Amino acid sequence: MTAFEELVARHRDRVYARAYSMMRNEEEAIDLSQEAWVKGWQRLGQFHQESSFGTWMTRIIINLCLDQLRKHKRQRAESIEAMDEESGGVERQMPVLTVNPTAGLERGELRQRIDQALGQLSYEHRMSLVLHEFEDMEYKEIAKTMGCSIGTVMSRLFYARRKLAALLADLKNRDSV
């Protein structure tokens, strides 16, 4: 148990960061992190060092977050069609940004803006972005994790990136007014 405590201490920030980036809620992210560590303990016998321990734990938290987000979605009774509508073409019409909306921002400020912008994305779009940018997953792997096609992953990623760029530009414009 002492050795496991050490592992928790070493990887707890990484596990929490993943939960937070997906859930956008501090309390929920802490609860899910705790659940992930309990599951990690229960399944320790299944860890065969095919990946690093940190990566293995990250997969556990990702799956827990996905389950939780699906529950949220069911509760909100959002339909897949509604989500598709949301992303159906909007990003194609957005004008391409010519000015970098993050230029000149301090680290803390940039972090705050990204945080805000990520919070405005739907969970499917945020998830695609998180898994690709933070977990370095390939399209195929994201599709498998999220249970959708590679084409859907590409569309979601594209929408998420373009929307994020637009949101960051919007925040910049609001600040300069």
Partner 1 sequence: MDYNAQLKLQAWLDGELPEREADEVAQWVARDREAAALVEELRITRGALAGFNAEVRLPESREFFWSKVEREIQRLGAPAPRPARATYLAQLRRFLVPASAVAAVVIAGLMLNRQPGSSGGSVATEMETALADSAAFIYRDFSAGTTLVWLSYPADNETAETDDMDTFE
- Residues numbered 110 to 169 that lie near partner 1 (CB under 8 A) are 110-111, 114, 129, 132-134, 138-139, 154-155, 157-158, 161-162, 164-165, 168
The residue from 23, 32, 37, 60 that contacts partner 1 (CB under 8 A) is: 37
- Inter-residue contact 56 to 16 (CB < 8 Å): no
- Count of residues interacting with partner 1 (CB under 8 A): 49
Please name the amino acid found at residue 56.
W
- The Cα–Cα gap between 98 and 17 comes to 31
- The Cα–Cα gap between 55 and 61 comes to 10
Which C-beta is closer to partner 1: that of 36 or that of 69? Answer: 36
The one-character DSSP state at 135 is T
For 168, the token pair is 């960051």
- The Cα–Cα gap between 137 and 154 comes to 12
| Residues at the contact surface with partner 1, assessed by CB under 8 A | 1, 5, 8-9, 12-13, 15-18, 20-21, 26, 30, 33-35, 37-38, 41-42, 44-45, 48, 92, 96-98, 100-102, 110-111, 114, 129, 132-134, 138-139, 154-155, 157-158, 161-162, 164-165, 168
